[in-house]
Amino acid sequence: MLPRWILILLLTALMIVTTGGLGLYRAQEDAVRRKVAEDLVAVARLKGDQIAAWRTDQLEDAAALKEHGYLRQSVVRFTADPGAENAEDLRERFRILATQHDYTDILLTDPTGRMLSSLSGKRYAQGVYATDLAAAVHEKTPVLMDIHTDPQGQTPHISVIAPLFSNDEAVSTPVGAVILVIDAARFLYPLIQSWPTGSETAETLLVRQDGEHVLFLNDLRHQPDTALKLRIPLTRTDMPAVMAVLGREGFVRGRDYRGVEVVSVIRPIPDSPWFMVTKVDTTEVFAEWRRQSVLIWALLAGATVLIGAIAILLRQHERNIHFRALYVSEAALRNSLERYGITLKSIGDAVIVADARGMVELLNPAAEALTGWGDVEAHGKPLDEILRIVDEETGKTVESLPAKVLREGAVIGLTRHPLLIARDGTRRPIADSGAPIRDADGEIIGVVLVFRDQTEERRARRTSEIRSDLIEYAATHTLDEMMTRALEIVTERVESPSGWFGFVETDSHTPSGARGQTPALIGFHRTGEQIPNDPIEPTDAIAECVRRNKPIIRNDDIPSKGRQVSGDGGIRRYRELVVPVIHKDQTVAVLGVSGKQGDYTDKEAAELASLSDMIWEIAARKRTEADRQKAEQRYRRLFESAGDGILVLNADTGRVLDANPSLLRMVDMSHETIVGKDLGELGPFTRMTLFEDALETLQGKNVFHCDDAALETADGRIVEIEFVGTSYRVDHNRIIQFNIRDITRRKQAEIERERLLSAIEQAGETIVMTDPDGVIQYVNPAFERVTGYTRREAVGQTPCALENRRHDDAYYRILRETLAIGRVFQGRMVNQRKDRTLLTQEVTIAPVRDAAGRTVNYVGVAHDITENLAMAAQLQQAQKLESVGRLAGGVAHDYNNMLGVILGYTELALKKVDPSDPLHDDLMEIFDAARRSSEITRQLLAFARRQTVSPRVLDVNETVEGMLKMLRHLIGEDIDLRWFPKHRSWPVKIDPSQIEQILANLCLNARDAISGVGKVMIETENITFDEAYCAHHPDCIPGEYVLLAASDDGRGMDKETLESIFEPFFTTKDVRRGTGLGLATVYGIVKQNNGFINVYSEPGKGTTFKIYLPRHQGPATTSSPDPPVEIPLGRGETILLVEDEPAILKVGAMMLEGLGYRVLTADTPTSAMRLADAHVDKIHLLVTDVVMPEMNGRDLANQLKARCPEIRTLFMSGYTANVIAHRGVLDVGVYFIQKPFSRKDLGIKVRGILDETSPQASRQGVTK
């Protein structure tokens, strides 16, 4: 039975657990309800605010329509005139509104509600919107209608009615209303149906009161297609939707339209008849709570069961206490006995217990191991049989220790050098003692013997002695001598005739001998006989020892290959023992013995291992000392022979410790004068703050660099240096070492190199350097400018990859052969720029050789002569034109004079012959032939730019327009002439007749290039050329130009033909079809007017000529009137005719007299002056040749002008020779007629001058 206080405690705990469990249940249930209510309220507030905001946005958008002036104007226009144009305009504005605001439809009604138009074209019943429309018009503000369906469909809509007024609302009358129809399914329903978290039953309802029912305004989650159809009577007061209509708000519980119990939050929508119900099934929201409540009840039941179990356990515990007390007392005694036995067996010393008769009672494990007897089999046997002890020095059996202890009754030790002989005959040195065992009365009832194995202690002591001997021996002997001594000791210890020691190289794990040979051993017989070098094979015990890092014992009597070292067979390693020396987990050396008569044992392996570590340590120290001595010698040799100066200082004192010969030579000082001095006391270093900075820096860092410094030597020389300072420790002393390099020559070489590189970089010629294989290693900036390739693009390429091989194979073969024999190649090379344009260069390529005469590079220097060649070609062309011009001038002067005589007399003869007379036709043939000949002369002068012209500012479009009829007649009906003028072309300054010559020649060439039907296109355009374009087109000068282009779809021309088309007398036509002067004339006219011409043509693809004439800054002049058809007659005016050619003089006089003028003739300027002086009447006009022997026509005119100020002058010539014209252009105010001329030409020109009716026309040259 439990104590009373325990029972009271258990009952109290049971009551606390029950009360706490019920309280926790109710608290958790309340918390779940609050959480559900908070979540539903948050969702309801969010959605209610969104719906209210959406309603406000719709009303604001509708209110904005009242201010929409364009819409109001469109409505007013439509109501006034509902025609197609106004209707379409209104619908377009409706479409824009619908697109911007996602309206389903937009309606227009009059103020009474009658529908006038709609975006969709549907017709709506008038009564649907009448009430809300009247309210909107009355209140003059938009009205948002309730959710409704239109008569044609069942889709729920929401409409916004926006009234429109003609002008100011305060005094205006309504003109109608715009009804914005919104599909509830596009925004409102998705907004209502969405839920912010995942839920299977959560739902939002939008309802309003409809009479005695609640009308659901949206589709339901669990009952589709219910919007505006489902109605619930107001008597269902347990439904949250009915509660909302009846005025309830906030969190409520009830049943929904399915009859399922739900929790809901009710919230009215501001400014609307709508109510929103957010609900979720109670089974969902309280599902987690139900699981938690089950757990709470389970925990409560478990706590109750636990309290009952505690009561049972306490009762059982009381019963066990008594029995446990009994057990503990008995176990304590038993444990005490076992502890003594375990202690006896666990101690490291051997213990033997015998009775008073000397019979064995107990052997602990250590005694068993040393004696070789087991505890069971030794029990009851005499102690002297189990423990056999002899003197180590004499070998005699010593007195029985137990007998002595029993006799004397005290603790007794054995002799100085006891040796225990085990059961198997193994002898071990021991240290032992014996003690009597007494009973409670003090009587001796037994004896206990305690002894320990001293083998390891003696071995350690011996090893220490050997170590001391070897260290002392190594101090005065060489490594080989020390190793010989060590191996004598080793072989003696393990009774082996031969022994050897080898170091293992860490990189290959190959043992090496005492002298470091690799991969060989140096072994020694115990007598000192040296074994020759012997390579170690992988199958050897040594290789296995190194590989496995453990001792290897071989007692198989099979000698390893190559181990038989003496001819008589006395020294053979039939048995082997090899032990490794392991340092940092690696085998660094091996020690081995062989040839023992008996087998090697693990004991010997252990002894040999301790000896091997000691030998390796001494030998390694000896080797390290030898290596250090070698390193010091090597360092000293390097120090003395180094090319750089080396200065060693004490870091703490700053005094020089050492200096090598290179430094002494550099500063011109001796070793005695520099060593031991402070660095600041040495002349060359006193003025160098860099060394002071270096010393200060090296106090905290290990390295200091200086790439450029100057040192002044004792004799005043300046030495350019660079130095590195390093700080390190030697024997606890901090040392600073300066390595100083004389870079004077290098600096001078760098200056020369920089000067040379600067010259190369700034050179105008391109310079390329390649390796012996022709791969580019360097190009200068001139190469980049000339070729367009950047240095990065060129380096690594070959010149052939860049030049695109523009020469034949023979050219490159000669280049390679020249360079192969080491000669310099010179030649002209055509290469290709990066932009595919060609350039011509004068190239020099030379090999670069090293000191041995080997070609290490090739350097190429190229001078670009492309522009020079182009200029030379232009100069040659100019010289050719100049020559042709001089030829044309000479021909024109004489030839035109003769043609003038022929034309004049023929024309006079025609007037005297009846047209029906056959002679009339012959005279006409002569006349036509002469006119054609004069035209050839005119073309020749035009090509040579010697044609006398009178340029004026004109509009090219107008000039071409006036020629179209003539050009169409010229090319025939089978060819379509198309004209594409620029809308407003810039004015140009040119003789209009030259425009006619250009187009006539180009159209005739196009006609001849077209076989059959074709087309010719003439077009104009305004063009501006910048400097970048003109840089690649030498004929072009930057500026503004008017383009006159003529194109045809004829047979076209190849490249060779294009290169010669502008040469005089060059033609591809038959001999009878052309003179070869047409395009030459065009070229000359264009050049005479400072323009340029481009030609584009390919065989079979037609030809295009593009002529660019410079823009003239100024307006175009009006066209001159056409010359009169009839020849104007004279009125008796006096004309002085001066001509050095008699025939021309005669025929000219006849023409003028026939026209009604009085004519005074003179064949020289002098006679003309005398004639003028002698003539008393007024001379109205001077008609004079330009080029005459005594003086030219201009000088004659000037002299006569001085005498007769009112006289006018008409110059006539076949070639003016720049007397009255510059480059063929007449000077201002000069009248001129071109030889040969007809009677009509002369009559019109003279009459025009005398009458001054058309000054500009009279100054114009006669055209074809």
Q: How many domains does the chain have?
A: 7
Domain boundary among the residues 1085, 1110, 1135 is at 1110
State the Cα–Cα distance between residues 779 and 790, nearest whole angstrom.
Answer: 9
State the Cα–Cα distance between residues 824 and 843, nearest whole angstrom.
Answer: 10
DSSP string, 420-470: EE-TTS-EEEEEEEEEEEE-TTS-EEEEEEEEEE-HHHHHHHHHHHHHHHH
The band of 1221, judged by pLDDT with boundaries at 50, 70 and 90, is low
620 & 499 share domain: yes
999 & 1048 share domain: yes
1026 & 1155 share domain: no
CATH of the domain at 471: 3.30.450.40
Any domain includes 224? no
Q: Please check the confidence at residue 1098 and state whether its pLDDT lies above 50.
A: yes
Any domain includes 1215? yes
3-state SS class at 1229: coil
Any domain includes 327? no
Q: What angle do CA 1239, 1241, 1245 make, to 5 degrees?
A: 115
Sole residue written with tokens 């040839």: 595
3-state SS class at 263: strand
Report which of residues 672 and 1256 the model is more confident about: 672
3-state SS class at 1098: coil
In Å, how far are 445, 477, 891, 939 from 81, measured between CA atoms? 149, 135, 85, 73
Report which of residues 242 and 318 the model is more confident about: 242
Report which of residues 679 and 1168 the model is more confident about: 1168
Name the residue among 862, 683, 838, 842 with its Cα closest to residue 769: 862
Sole residue written with tokens 């072994």: 523
Q: Please check the confidence at residue 594 and state whether its pLDDT lies above 80.
A: yes
1062 & 1103 share domain: yes
State the Cα–Cα distance between residues 1004 and 1074, nearest whole angstrom.
Answer: 10
Any domain includes 380? yes
- What number is the average pLDDT over the span 1015-1042? 86
Any domain includes 496? yes
Q: Which helix (H) or strand (E) holds 287?
A: helix 287-346
Q: Please check the confidence at residue 1141 and state whether its pLDDT lies above 70.
A: yes
Q: Please check the confidence at residue 530 and state whether its pLDDT lies above 50.
A: no
Whether 1243 contacts 1155, CB under 8 Å: yes
Domain boundary among the residues 630, 659, 674 is at 630
Any domain includes 432? yes
The band of 1040, judged by pLDDT with boundaries at 50, 70 and 90, is very high
386 & 509 share domain: no
1225 & 1240 share domain: yes
Range of the domain at 788: 763-855
State the Cα–Cα distance between residues 792 and 797, nearest whole angstrom.
Answer: 10
The band of 1108, judged by pLDDT with boundaries at 50, 70 and 90, is very high
Residues in the chain: 1264
For 482-527, write each residue's pLDDT tens digit. Answer: 888 888 888 888 888 888 888 876 554 445 544 333 334 444 444 4
CB atoms within 10 A of CB 636: 12
Domain boundary among the residues 161, 183, 205 is at 183
Q: What are phi and psi for residue 714, nearest 5 degrees?
A: -65, -30
Q: Please check the confidence at residue 532 and state whether its pLDDT lies above 50.
A: no
Q: Which helix (H) or strand (E) holds 255?
A: strand 250-255
- Among the ranges given (26-35, 370-379, 529-538, 628-637), the one the predictor scored with the smallest mean pLDDT: 529-538
CATH of the domain at 832: 3.30.450.20
Question: Could you say which DSSP state residue 336 is in?
Answer: H
473 & 583 share domain: yes
% of the chain residues with pLDDT over 90? 8
615 & 715 share domain: no
CATH of the domain at 1223: 3.40.50.2300
Report which of residues 915 and 403 the model is more confident about: 915
995 & 849 share domain: no
3-state SS class at 605: helix
Sole residue written with tokens 């005065």: 476
524 & 576 share domain: yes
The band of 528, judged by pLDDT with boundaries at 50, 70 and 90, is very low
Report which of residues 539 and 1210 the model is more confident about: 1210
- Identity of residue 638: L
- Identity of residue 1092: F
CB atoms within 10 A of CB 242: 21
Any domain includes 297? no
1158 & 1191 share domain: yes
1080 & 1202 share domain: no
Q: What angle do CA 21, 24, 28 make, to 5 degrees?
A: 145
Whether 52 contacts 60, CB under 8 Å: no
Any domain includes 338? no
